[in-house]
Amino acid sequence: MRPEQQAAAADSFAPFQQALTQGWEKALESFQSLGAGGNAGAPWEMPKFSLSTEKLQQLQQQYVEEATELWRQDLAARAGGDRRFAGEAWGSNPVSAFSAAVYLLNTRTLLGMAEAVEADEKTRSRLRFAVEQWTAASAPSNYFAFNAEAMKKALDTQGESIAKGIRNLLHDVQQGHLSMTDESAFEVGRNVATTEGSVVFENELFQLLEYKPLTAKVYERPLLLVPPCINKFYILDLQPENSLIRYAVEQGHRVFVVSWRNPDASMAQYTWDRYIEDAAIKAIQVTREITGQDKKGGQIDTLGFCVGGTILSTALAVLAARGEQPAASVTLLTTLLDFVDTGVLDIFIDEGFVQFREMQMGQGGLLQGGELASTFSFLRPNDLVWNYVVGNYLKGETPPPFDLLYWNSDATNLPGPMYCWYLRNTYHENKLAQPGALTVAGEKIDLGRIEAPVYIYGSREDHIVPIGGAYASTQVLSGKKRFVMGASGHIAGVINPPAKKKRSHWIRADGKLPKTQAEWLAGAIEHPGSWWTDWSAWLKTHAGKQIPAPKTYGKGSAYKAIEPAPGRYVKAKA
C-alpha cells in the first residue's frame, strides 16, 4: 500500500475507530456487571469477580491500535502464523484474509480480558476455557462464506467438494459422531488388536485375555495389564509395530490383559466396589491361579494405564487391608492417585456438578460413551473438532486412515453409580490419597500399605493427567519407586515403541524423588528415544526366573480357552 493510500485508509477508519472505543467501553460495562452478581458458594451460579482497571485500559488501547493497523498491513500478513489461515487462498482473498485478521485480534483481546479478571484460579480457568471454546467455534474458517480454501476448492472441483461435504455430514449424522478417520479401514481383530491370544476367563464385567508366548522361555511371574475402562484396551495393541502388549510378550513375559465389557442397561446399577472386587481383584486372582502364583504367596507383575492404574492401585490397597500382597511390581502409566492436579478437567468439577450427576445417575443409569468422547475432544477443540468439521464438510475431504483415531472414536459407556462415586471421591474430594478416608469393598484403604516396587510414568504435555498429577503418586506410595517422564501427551507419550526412535524421556540417575515434579526435573537427564526399554529392564528384575513357555492357554478344566483374542467384549459398540 502506497503512503497516500495508507493516509486515505487512516482517514476513512477514523469514524470506525471512535465507534470501536465506544463499543469497547460498553463491552467493559457488560463484562464487569457479569462479575458483580452471583454467589460463589451456590451451585450453578456465576461466581463474583472483578477486573483490573489498569489491564483493561491497556487492552482497550492495544485493541484500537491493532484494529487501526490492520488497514495498513498486507493482506497475506494479517492472519499471522495460525495454520487455520496459512493457505495461499487466504492471502489472495481480501475478504477472507481481513475476516481472519479481525477474528485473531478479537480472540487475543477476549483472552486478555479473561486474564484481567481478578478472581480465584478456578474462576479464571473457567472463563478462559469458555472464551477458548467460543472463539474456536466462531473462527471464520468454520464457515463456508469466509473460508477461502473451501470456496477455492468448490470452484476447482465445480461443486463436487460441496456434494461430498454434504454426503460426509449425512454419514456422520447417521453414525452419531464426527469422523476423525476413515473408520471403514479398520476392524478390531482383523487389523487392530491382532496379537495372538485367547480369552481364558469372563464374567459380567470383563474378559481376561492370555497372549501366546513368542519366546521359548517366559518369566515365572506373569504380567497383568489393567487398561482404562473409559476406553477399549486395544490402545495397547493397535498394530504389531506399536503394540505395548506384543512388545511385552516379545520380552519374554506371560501377558494377561483385562478387556472391559462395554456397559449396557443390564449394568446400570454397577458400583465402583464391583469394579474393584469383581473385576480388578478377580483378574489378579485368576491370573495367579492360571500361572501357579496362588501357591506359597506367589506374586505377579501388574500394570495400570490411566483410570486402569487408579482401579489397580485401589484393588491392591483393598488386598493389602486384607493382609495380601499379590503384586511383585506395579507399573502406573499416566495415572492419578492424588487428584491435587487434574489439569483442565478441574474446571468441570465442583459440588454443584457432582450433585447434578448424582441426581441424574447416581442410583442407576449410564454415562454414554459419546458424551465422554465429546468432552475429551473439546479439551482441544481446534485439533479434535473444528479441524474435522472444516475438512469433512466444507472441503468434502475424507480423513485418512489412522489407527489411534479409530480407537479414539470407539467409545465406551460407564455405569452411573460407578462414575458418580469416582467423580466425588477422587476428582472432587480427593480422598483416595488420604489413608483410611475411603471404604472400598468393605475395607478401609491406605495406598501406602502397598509394598510392591513401583514404576511411575508421566507424559510431559499430558492434558488429561498433568505431569504434576502423575508425579504426585511418588509421594503417596511407600514401595521403592522409579519415576520416568516421557515427551508428548496422554496417548502419544505412552505408545512410543523403541523402533520408531522418536521423542525423549527423562530419568534422575540419583533416584531421588523430591516433593514436586519441578524439583525432580531439575536433576533429571534427557535420554533420546522411547522409555519402553528402561521399563523393560526394570520389569525383568521383578519377573523372577525363566521357565519353559506354556503350550496351551489357561489351566486345566477351570480356565479353558473360550474364544480367540481380542474376544467379543471389546467389539461391542457404545
Q: Which residues are catalytic, by number?
A: 306
CB 302 within 8 A of CB 226: yes
CB 205 within 8 A of CB 278: yes
Task: Specify burial of residue 85 (Cβ count, 10 A radius: 0-12, 13-18, 19+).
Answer: buried
**Cis-peptide into 453, omega within 30 deg:** no
Paired sense of beta strands 414-415 and 366-367, if any: antiparallel
CA nearest 458: which of 509, 493, 502, 413?
493
36 CB neighbour count, 10 Å cutoff: 11
CA distance 312 to 330: 9
CA distance 491 to 463: 10
520 CB neighbour count, 10 Å cutoff: 19
CB 122 within 8 A of CB 427: no
CA distance 79 to 97: 7
CB 226 within 8 A of CB 284: no
CB 197 within 8 A of CB 272: no
Cell triple for residue 492?
Answer: 502419544
CA nearest 183: which of 478, 420, 403, 415?
403
CA distance 398 to 542: 47
